[in-house]
Amino acid sequence: MSNKLYWDSSYEIVLRLMEAFPQVDVETIGIEQLYRWVIALPDFADEPELANESILNDILREWYEEVNP
């Protein structure tokens, strides 16, 4: 059983996004695309309307740092 994902679980969200989109160039992802991908993750359980630019930028930054150590 997988853990549910919430907006404050940015690292776990990043890991799931890396599994779902292993070949994506993180630098080409826009905020709107990221939002759609996150809310479409199977274990995402939070309210989509709680997202804001700061949360999405944090996820994007963490993803970038994960693939570019």
Cα angle vertex 26, ends 36, 32, to 5°?
25
Domain-embedded: residue 23: yes
Region class of 15: left (phi > 0), else alpha (psi between -120 and 50), else beta: alpha
In this predicted model, what pLDDT tens digit does every residue of 16-62 receive, in sequence order? 999 999 999 999 999 999 999 999 999 999 999 999 999 999 999 99
Distance CA 54, CA 51 (A): 8
| CB-based contact 5:12 (threshold 8 Å) | yes
Average pLDDT on 4-18 reads: 96
Question: Whole domain around residue 56: which residue ranges?
Answer: 10-67
Q: Name the pTM for this structure.
A: 0.90
Domain-embedded: residue 43: yes
Within 10 A of 60 (CB to CB), how many other CB atoms are there? 20
Total of domains in the chain:
1
Distance CA 17, CA 56 (A): 13
Domain-embedded: residue 5: no
